[in-house]
Amino acid sequence: MESALDFHTARALLDWQIELGATEAICDAPIDRYALDPAPKPTAPPAAKTPVPPAAAPEADPVAEARRAAEGAADLAGLQAAMAAFEHCELKRGARNLVFADGNADARVMIIGEAPGRDEDLQGKPFVGRAGQLLDKMLAAIGLARHAQAADHAVYITNVLPWRPPQNRDPKPEEIAMLLPFLERHVALVDPALVVLMGNTSCQAGLGRRGITRLRGNWTQAYGRPALPMFHPAALLRNPHNKRYAWADLLELQARLESDT
């Protein structure tokens, strides 16, 4: 049977249902909503990317830095300037002065001590305290002096470390290794005929060994030239009975210089 509803009647019925509160139309056939795809879960906003910090600059190698600075020194003045500009050694921050060297750079003998003491730190020169005064007397006994004009009678003096360790403590192995390139360049620039290694620290730097009581008085090689280990004058002040060994070593040094003339 054909529907008797015309447009106006259907519209009137629809308006009536809306007034009753109807909000949606129901289809002729039921819908199985369980069979439908579940509503997509809301996706979380993408997490913000954690910023990657820039790679840290590699730590400087103090020994390599010292080697580059030392090799760039063409003369003693340049070497002294390079050492003064070197910032990796903490000893520098507690010292008053850089203690570079003293004596005649043309001397045949180069004396290498350990490290500056209080007097050396104040004056900026090596071996100027009580130990230095004793050293001058020892050298004078065999006709040598730090300020002699003639190279055959002069000495040139420096230390393994150019800055005073606090409370005059012994230099640490890492401090010796850090500053060794400067010392090696120092010896190369002075180019002495032989070197005197005074004390354990000097032997550690030049020979890689300690034990001055066993080493003293025996010629060896250090920095590519003949080397004679000796007691440090400060040690002689503490143990005067060792002065007889120091005298024997001085005579050995004198005989070597005379034989090489």
Instruction: Convert the pLDDT of each residue in 101-141 to its tens digit.
Output: 999 999 999 999 999 999 999 999 999 999 999 999 999 99
Please report which confidence band the pLDDT of residue 15 belongs to, taking 50, 70 and 90 as the band edges. Answer: confident
Instruction: Convert the pLDDT of each residue in 61-107 to its tens digit.
Output: 999 999 999 999 999 999 999 999 999 999 999 999 999 999 999 99
More confident residue, 203 or 55: 203
What are the φ and ψ backbone dihedral angles of 222, each rounded to 5 degrees? -150, 135
Is the confidence at residue 55, as pLDDT, over 60?
no
More confident residue, 139 or 59: 139
| Radius of gyration, CA atoms only, the chain | 43
Do the beta carbons of residue 206 and residue 112 sit within 8 Å?
yes
pTM of the full predicted structure? 0.77
The alpha helices in 59-142, defined as continuous H runs, are 62-71, 76-85, 91-94, 118-123, 130-140
- Closest to 179 in 3D by CA, of 95, 237, 58, 57: 95
Residues whose CB is less than 8 angstroms from the CB of residue 50 and which lie 6 or more positions away in sequence, other chains included: none
Please report which confidence band the pLDDT of residue 1 belongs to, taking 50, 70 and 90 as the band edges. Answer: very low
pLDDT of residue 261: 73
Q: What is the mean pLDDT of residues 150-176?
A: 96
More confident residue, 36 or 151: 151
Q: What is the mean pLDDT of residues 149-159?
A: 97
- What CATH fold (topology level) applies to the domain 62-259? Uracil-DNA Glycosylase, subunit E (3.40.470)
Is the confidence at residue 28, as pLDDT, over 90?
no
Kindly report the average pLDDT of the chain as a whole number: 90
Is the confidence at residue 32, as pLDDT, over 60?
yes
Residue 237 exposure: Cα atoms within 13 Å on the Cβ side = 12
Is the confidence at residue 40, as pLDDT, over 80?
no
Q: What is the mean pLDDT of residues 31-40?
A: 62
More confident residue, 59 or 132: 132
pLDDT of residue 18: 75
pLDDT of residue 13: 72
Distances (CA, A) of 146 to 40, 41, 70, 230: 94, 91, 25, 17
pLDDT of residue 12: 73
